[in-house]
Amino acid sequence: MFTCFLPKVEFGAGKVNHIADYVQGLGTKAAIAIDPYMNSIGLGDQIAAQLKKVFIESVIFADIEPNPSCFKVDEMAQKAKAERCDFVIAIGGGSAIDYGKGLAVMVNSQGSSWDYTERNDHDVLRPGSNTLPLVAIPTTSGTGSESTPFSVLNNPVLKEKSTIVNERIFPRLAIVDPELMVSMPSKITASTGFDAFAHALESFISLKANPYTTMVSREAMSIVVRNLPEAVANGGNVKARENLAWASTLAGSAIAHIGVTLPHSLAQPVGGMFGVPHGDSIAACMVNVLEVSWQSDLEKFAAISTLMDPSISSLSLRQRAEKCPDLVSKLLSDINLHVKFSTFGMTENDIDKATSIALTGYYFDIECHPKKVTREEIRQIYKACL
C-alpha cells in the first residue's frame, strides 16, 4: 500500500508567459523570491507586470544566495509580512525555491525557520495551516524542488544544513518552462542535472521504493543519461533542456514520496560546512557510495547499469550490478564533473563533524539505504571521498 500525490504542473515552452492565468485565486499580493540573475534580465519585472494585469500586487525579493540561510529566510519573511503578502512565487534553482518555501512557512509563524528543520537532537516545530500558497518556477533542471515538500536550509553559524519536511510546503502549482533554462551555464547544467540523476537513482534503490516511485525514477534516470551530456555540451538544445526539465520534475516527485538515501546524507553536511553547490557535493561521493553498496541489491543495481549501458544486458546479474559505479563515474566524466570532497577544502580533520551531522540531521535518509552502514563505515566513505 502507498500514497501518491503531485502538485499541479504546467509544463512546456512559453508557459511562464501565462502565469496570470494560473495564479488567480491564490491571493492578492505575491512575494516573488527570485534568483538575482533571473531578476537582472528582467524576469521578475515581467512576472510582476503580468500579475498586475489581473489586479495582483507583488514585491520582489532578489537577495537570494546559494545554500539558503535560515536567517535570511527569517528576515525576508518579516518583510513579506510587513508588505501583507498572502502567497509566494519562487523563481530560480533549488536555492530560490527553498527560500520561497521557507517564506511560505515563516510569514505567519513564530520562531526561526531553523526550528522547523528535521534533526533528531531537538524538538521540531511544524508548519501550520496558515502556511502561504506557493508557486514554483524552476530555472534549472535538477533539484526537483518544484515537486517536493522539502526546503533545505543552511545555518551559517552552526555551519550545518537541515531540511524542512512537510506536505504544507508542496507547491500549489509548478510552472516548468524549458525556455527559462537555455541560458544556464554548462557547469550549473552538469551539477543540477547530476542532482536529478541522484534523486532518481536513490529513490530507485530506496528501501521505501513503491511501484510509483520505481516507475518514475527509472524513467528519470533514463532521460538524464540520454540528455545531460548533450545539454552540457550544447546548452541551446531546447529539446535536451525540455527532457531534463521533465526528468527533474519526475525525480523530484519520486523523492517527495520516499526521500533520498546515503549519498545525500553524506553530501549535505559537506555542503553546509563548506558552502558547496549541492550537485557537486553529491557528485563527490556518489561513486564511492555505490562501490560499497552495489552488492546489497543486485537486481536494482543491475537494472541501473543496464539502463545506462544496454550493451551489457547479456552479462550475469552480478556482473551488471558490479558495473554500476564505473558507469556512473563515466557519466561524471562525460559532463566534466569529477570532484572530491577535498576539492572544497575538506580534510580528515572534518570527517568526525560531518559524520555526526549526517547521523543527526539525515538519519532518516541513511535508514532508507539498502546497505546498512555504521558510524565507522560512514567515516571510511568520507575518507575515500577526499
Q: What is the pTM of this model?
A: 0.94
* Pairing label, strands 150-155, 134-138: unpaired
End-to-end CA distance of the chain: 41
**What pLDDT does 40 receive?**
96
Map out the domains of the chain with their CATH numbers.
Answer: 8-181 (3.40.50.1970), 186-384 (1.20.1090.10)
41-52 pLDDT, tens digit per residue, is 999 999 999 999
Task: Give me the amino acid identity at 12.
Answer: G
Task: Name the grid cell of 69.
Answer: 540561510
**What pLDDT does 142 receive?**
87
135-182 pLDDT, tens digit per residue, is 999 999 988 999 999 999 999 999 888 999 999 999 999 999 999 999
* Contacting residues for 108 by C-beta, under 8 A, at least 6 apart: 81, 128, 130, 131, 132
4 confidence band (pLDDT: 50, 70, 90): confident
Please name the residue that has the C-alpha cell 512557512: 105
**What pLDDT does 373 receive?**
98
pLDDT at 7 over 90: no
67 confidence band (pLDDT: 50, 70, 90): confident
Please name the residue that has the C-alpha cell 528519470: 220
Length of the chain in terms of residues written? 386
195-244 pLDDT, tens digit per residue, is 999 999 999 999 999 999 999 999 999 999 999 999 999 999 999 999 99
Please name the residue that has the C-alpha cell 506536505: 167
